[in-house]
Amino acid sequence: MFVLGVLVFVHELGHFLAAKRVGIRVLKFQLGFNPTIVSFRRGDTEYAIGALPLGGHGNIEEETPEDHRTGGDDEILSKTKWERFQVLIMGPVMNLLLALVLTAVVLYQGADVPAYEDQPPVVGAVAAGSPAAKSDIQPGDLILSVADHPVDTWEKFFIAIGSRPDREVTIRLQRNGVELTRKVTPVSSGQSRFEIGDIGVLPNTHPHIVAVNSGEPADLAGLKAGDVVLAVDGQTITFHSQLREAIAKHPDSPMTLTILRGGARQQIVVKPLNRSGTGWVGIQILDELKSIKPGPIEAVSMSVQRNVQFAGLIFQTVWGLITRETSPKQLMGPVAIAQLSGESAQLGWIALLSLMASISLNLGLLNLLPIPILDGGHIFIMALEGAARRDFSVRAKEKLLLAGFVVLMMLMVTVIYNDLARISWIGRLMPWK
């Protein structure tokens, strides 16, 4: 309720402020939905608080062609198209501004992020039996593009692959100075309830040992803080989670760790203890990270860059849905938003604000789509009327709005189905899945 309430209220606040600015009478502006529990009047507007804190709404004077018009200059239909455009556009604009502000606040706090994210996607390891291995993608290959979309960092690569599960894509790569193309079909990773494509390539990074417990198996075997673990029993280790899993599977069983110490490779045999059936060696490990701590101006600049990048991904996803390149199963609705909000809240305010920024950006941009019934749809109809130099009839507008309503209902049914299918016990009741 908090996340959706804030986002919808900010959206409606934009419409309200713009209406007041151009001189349109607003009969009522309410925080939350009915029933109204507190209200007061100032000027021509009643300000109220509703019992359901899921957003807000404004009641603008003579908002539709069916309303009785008095001809007063404070009615929205008495205003010019430019003035009405300002009222319509300010709702999405407020959501976009909120996304910028929240992202800047999150970035200003600083964070430790994977060091490889902004590095070129040079393959460090390929999982055995993975789609990449079957398509002859090898360690050392530099990935240039995915489905004709350039990817110059690991972050962009993972986004491009993750958004195309179970869809064959063309990967252009460079090997020993020669450009090659490979066809590969990403599979759902299975590590998330959302369908995220994966082809089994990993960056050239490895976990670091940051501390060794005295007297534990790792200490007795000669492991030291600062060692970089490259492999376990010949299997490349990229992330600390892989190392933890490998150790857990070897209780009372010797394992050979290939490490990097002082620029030199070494092999060390360590025998994990058996703790309740799980291997234990007594080390603390972390992935290779880098710290980001921008100043206020830099945080705002980074926020603009990040939101522009994410906006491009949103439009790419919408186009992918139209061209059937993106799976509708990746969409999420109110149930999934509630789940993510709860999970983010448990992680703290920064994670929750980050989620709010992402949803606000989506809300702002999707409201600008030229679908009748959305703000962008009303703007689109006004643009058509301007080009035709006449207003459309009430009947024509009703048909357009009905078409937009049908599209939105189809989308709503799809996302709610996706949300329910991701809940394990409900998913088990769907034999067709």
The two tokens of residue 149 are: 């979309």
pLDDT at 100 over 90: yes
Of the candidates 23, 18, 14, the one whose C-alpha atom is nearest the C-alpha of residue 57 is: 14
Higher pLDDT, 368 or 335: 368
User: Which are the catalytic amino acids?
Assistant: 12
pLDDT at 243: 93
pLDDT at 269 over 90: yes
What proportion of the chain, given as a percentage, has pLDDT over 90? Answer: 39
Mean pLDDT of 185-214: 84
The two tokens of residue 190 are: 């299975």
Answer for the pair 131, 200: CB distance below 8 angstroms, yes or no: yes
Task: For residue range 280-334, list pLDDT tens digits in order.
Answer: 999 999 988 888 888 999 999 999 998 998 898 888 888 877 877 777 777 777 7
Residue whose pair of structure tokens reads 């060390």 in the numeric block: 268
Mean pLDDT of 377-397: 86
Answer for the pair 170, 194: CB distance below 8 angstroms, yes or no: no
Q: Where are the beta strands (DSSP E) in 11-127?
A: 26-42, 45-60, 111-114, 123-126
The two tokens of residue 92 are: 């999405």
Answer for the pair 293, 244: CB distance below 8 angstroms, yes or no: no
**What confidence tier does 70 reach under pLDDT thresholds 50, 70, 90?**
low
pLDDT at 62: 47
